[in-house]
Amino acid sequence: QVQLVESGGGLVEPGGSLSLSCAASGIIFSINTMGWYRQAPGNQRELVAAITSSGSTNYVESVKGSFTISRDNVKKTVYLQMTSLKPAATAVYYCSAERRGTSYWGPGTQVTVSS
């Protein structure tokens, strides 16, 4: 079965950095578009960043220049490097894998930006 497992969340002070990882199994990782979403309390889940099978990336406007998504097809892992973190980035971050309308999700990892 398909499994996506996020790791790397935690508590960080404003202005700090955090790196998330998502290890995938049960899918042909290299052909899937991988994404990071987040959901803060009371808000809808939103796309933060995505990377296609060819390596093209896109980001929500609010994280451009401070977040970087990357993938390692050998390790079947997608990463999200987050820098210059602000309290508004506090949310549960979810990893997703998508291909041809079929999506899979991880259970999420909490990121809290607070002093």
The residue-averaged pLDDT of 4-13 equals: 97
pLDDT score at 82: 98
Residue 19 has a pLDDT of: 98
Neighbours of 36 (CB within 10 A): 26
- DSSP collapsed to 3 states, the chain: CCEEEEECCEEECCCCCEEEEEEEECCCHHHCEEEEEEECCCCCCEEEEEECCCCCEEECHHHCCCEEEEEECCCCEEEEEECCCCHHHCEEEEEEEEECCEEEECCCEEEEECC
pLDDT at 27 over 90: no
* pLDDT per position as a tens digit, 51-70: 999 999 999 999 999 999 99
Q: In the predicted model, what is the mean pLDDT of the chain?
A: 96
Q: What is the pLDDT of residues 71-92, one digit of tens each?
A: 999 999 999 999 999 999 999 9
| Per-residue pLDDT at 30 exceeds 90 | no
